[in-house]
């Protein structure tokens, strides 16, 4: 059974720092992995989608990597800003086309 874990559950860093959020999954048989951002009480915003055949995707200050063999993905945020404060969730599309979610990392960027 696929399980997705995000560590840490919460992270607080000063503005301007580069940071890495982690996502691990137990079964490497996935179709893709997607990173989302969620502001309090709001819906989810898609950040990056990595297909199983890809190693990384970039969008602006965000870079997501995927290592299927080790069951890991990282979301790298460069030059963090207070507006980056949110909860970040990763989700994998497993071999049964089920989307399996991590519990999220709550990120706080201190001005």
Partner 1 sequence: DAGVTQSPTHLIKTRGQQVTLRCSPKSGHDTVSWYQQALGQGPQFIFQYYEEEERQRGNFPDRFSGHQFPNYSSELNVNALLLGDSALYLCASNLAVAGELFFGEGSRLTVL
Task: Name the residue nearer to partner 1 (CB basis): 34 or 85.
Answer: 34
Query: Is residue 35 a contact point for partner 1 (CB under 8 A)?
Result: no
Distances (CA, A) of 67 to 26, 40, 70: 12, 30, 6
Query: Is residue 26 a contact point for partner 1 (CB under 8 A)?
Result: no
Size of the site for partner 1 (CB under 8 A): 22
Query: Is residue 41 a contact point for partner 1 (CB under 8 A)?
Result: yes
The dihedral built from the CA positions of residue 96, 6, 32 and 108, taken in this order, carries a sign that is positive
Task: Name the residue nearer to partner 1 (CB basis): 75 or 91.
Answer: 91
The dihedral built from the CA positions of residue 110, 37, 46 and 23, taken in this order, carries a sign that is positive
Query: Is residue 45 a contact point for partner 1 (CB under 8 A)?
Result: yes
- 15 Cβ contact partners less than 8 Å away, ≥ 6 residues apart: 80, 81, 82, 109, 110, 111
Helical (H) or strand (E) element with 54 = none
Q: Interface with partner 1 by CB under 8 A: which range of 19-27, 43-51, 59-67, 75-83?
A: 43-51
Query: Is residue 59 a contact point for partner 1 (CB under 8 A)?
Result: no
The residues binding partner 1 (CB under 8 A) are 31-32, 34, 36, 41-46, 49, 51, 89, 91, 93, 97-99, 101-104
């Amino acid at each position: 059974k696929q399980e997705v874990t995000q560590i840490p559950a919460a992270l607080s860093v000063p503005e301007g720092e580069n940071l890495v959020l982690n996502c691990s999954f137990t079964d490497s048989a996935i179709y893709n992995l997607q990173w989302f951002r969620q502001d309090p009480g709001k819906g989810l915003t898609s950040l990056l989608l990595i297909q199983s055949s890809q190693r990384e995707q970039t969008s602006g200050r965000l870079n997501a990597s995927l290592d299927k063999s080790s069951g890991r993905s990282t979301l790298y945020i460069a030059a963090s800003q207070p507006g980056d404060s949110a909860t970040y969730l990763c989700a994998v599309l497993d071999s049964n086309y089920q989307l399996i979610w991590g519990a999220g990392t709550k990120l706080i960027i201190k001005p």
